[in-house]
Amino acid sequence: MGRGMLDPMATRKNSTDDPLAPITLAVGQEDLLLDRAVREVVTAARAVDTDTDVRDLSSEQLQPGTLSELTSPSLFSERKVLVVRNAQDLSAETAKEVKAYLASPYEEISLVLLHAGGVKGKGLLDAARKAGAREIACPKMTKPADRLSFVRGEFRTLGRSATPEACQTLVDAIGSDLRELASAAAQLCADVEGTIDEAVVGRYYTGRAEASSFTVADRAVEGRAAEALEALRWSLSTGVAPVLITSALAQAVRAIGKLASAPRGARPGDLARDLGMPPWKIDRVRQQMRGWSADGVADALRAVADADAGVKGGGDDPEYALEKAVVAVARAARPQRG
């Protein structure tokens, strides 16, 4: 499972292909690929030892002495995964400590260094390579051809067949956000049987159809029931798949639940990384959160789950199931309005 978790576009640069290698170096600035590199190591470690201790640290958190403390021998030979993000920003003293560790790493510890590449912190980068680190390239995908290869790889990883035209249509519709592309590919695989072709992708996404489903969700979680229902009817009349609307509703409500339970005062950049949302979405969800409660989130998710079952064959009237869910979500957002 560990190997399949990593995106095919995240390219390994040496022959070491073991996720449990003592040192993994993920180089680049594509957040999705960096996160997958980390997840692959954690998954592999927990497959060997379910009690693996995972420490995910920013460069600011890894102060001088912290690495020595975390790697010090214990009475129990427990497996650990130590993740260091933005390793290029480590202080000179901490970088020196990490370099010393690289020369003689512990077998039961998997150290994962996330490095942006470039000139800053190059000494640490070179030291990790010299130490024989397992290296994964996680570059930003600025070229359409790279994003097309990424989408093809997503379908292959998910074990599904998609035509070249379908992959191109998806890239054209979604754009450059890899998380959105990955999410769209997974959604198609979950909802569509057989080969995924251009017609299927067109039905879901052409003309940014998913944007209209997100409009329905945004208006609903803002408590604007009338506008949400109007957007819902327009979306359905233009051929947007009902499952896409329930998916958008679920995503919007879950985002509110995630942000509501996040630590107060956390920086948008840290929240974006921890919650798996782009920074702009953090700002939008913050505005949408007003009026929501924990009970409201739970009630809304139940309503969306009921609607999802309805549109996937559990009910006779998918449109009614969606309308009912939209009203329930809007009511949960503004409970004081009854």
Each residue's pLDDT tens digit, 115-124? 999 899 999 9
Question: Which structure tokens are listed for 121?
Answer: 């912190």
Partners of residue 80 on adjacent β-strands: 53, 109
Q: Give the model's pLDDT for residue 209.
A: 46
Give the lowest-confidence range in 127-131, 251-255, 264-268: 264-268
* pLDDT of residue 243 exceeding 60: yes
**Which carries the bigger pLDDT value, residue 135 or residue 268?**
135
- Between 129 and 75, the higher pLDDT residue: 129
Going by C-alpha positions, the residue among 306, 198, 196 that lies closest to residue 249 is: 306
Dump strand ranges (E) for the chain: 11-12, 23-27, 53-57, 80-84, 109-115, 134-137
CB 307 within 8 A of CB 325: yes
Which tens digits make up the pLDDT trace of 312-333? 775 668 889 999 999 999 999 9
Residue 234, pLDDT > 50, answer yes
Per-residue pLDDT at 302 exceeds 70: yes
Per the CB < 8 A criterion, the answer to whether 128 and 17 are in contact is no
Angle (CA) 40-179-218 rounded to 5° is 135
- On the question of pLDDT at 180 being above 90, the answer is no
Cβ neighbours, 10 Å, residue 227: 16
**pLDDT tens-digit profile of 183-196?**
889 989 988 889 99
With cut-offs at 50, 70 and 90, classify the pLDDT of residue 207.
Answer: low
Q: How far is it, in rounded angstroms, from Cα 114 to Cα 136?
A: 10
Tell me if 139 sits within 8 A of 30, measured CB to CB.
yes
**Higher-scoring residue by pLDDT: 253, 285:** 253
Q: Are 104 and 94 in contact (CB under 8 A)?
A: no
The string over 290-327, giving b where at least 16 C-beta atoms fall within 10 Å of a residue's C-beta and e elsewhere, is eebeeebbebbbebbebbbebbeeeeeebeebbbbbbb
How sure is the predictor about 338, in pLDDT bands with cuts at 50, 70 and 90?
Answer: very low
Is 297 in a helix, a strand, or coil? helix
The DSSP 8-state label assigned to residue 311 in this structure reads: I
Average of per-residue pLDDT across 33-61: 92
CA–CA distance, 215 with 208 (Å, rounded to integer) = 11
pLDDT at 206 over 70: no
Kindly state the tokens that stand for 221. 């979680």
HSE, CB side, 13 Å, CA atoms: give it for residue 75: 0
* pTM reported for the whole predicted model: 0.58
For tokens 């005062």, what's the residue? 265
DSSP code for 23? E
Comparing 58 with 277, the larger pLDDT belongs to: 58
Question: Which of 30, 77, 29 has the alpha carbon at shortest distance from 53?
Answer: 77
Q: How far apart are CA 268 and CA 248, in angstroms?
A: 22
Q: Are 295 and 254 in contact (CB under 8 A)?
A: no
User: What is the structure's pLDDT at 112?
Assistant: 97
Supply the pLDDT for residue 280. Answer: 66
Give 264-284 pLDDT, tens digit per residue: 767 666 777 777 766 667 777
Q: Please report, as a single letter, which amino acid is at residue 58.
A: S
| CB-CB contact of 269 with 283 (8 Å) | no
Mean pLDDT check: name the lowest of 3-7, 29-33, 64-68, 221-225: 3-7
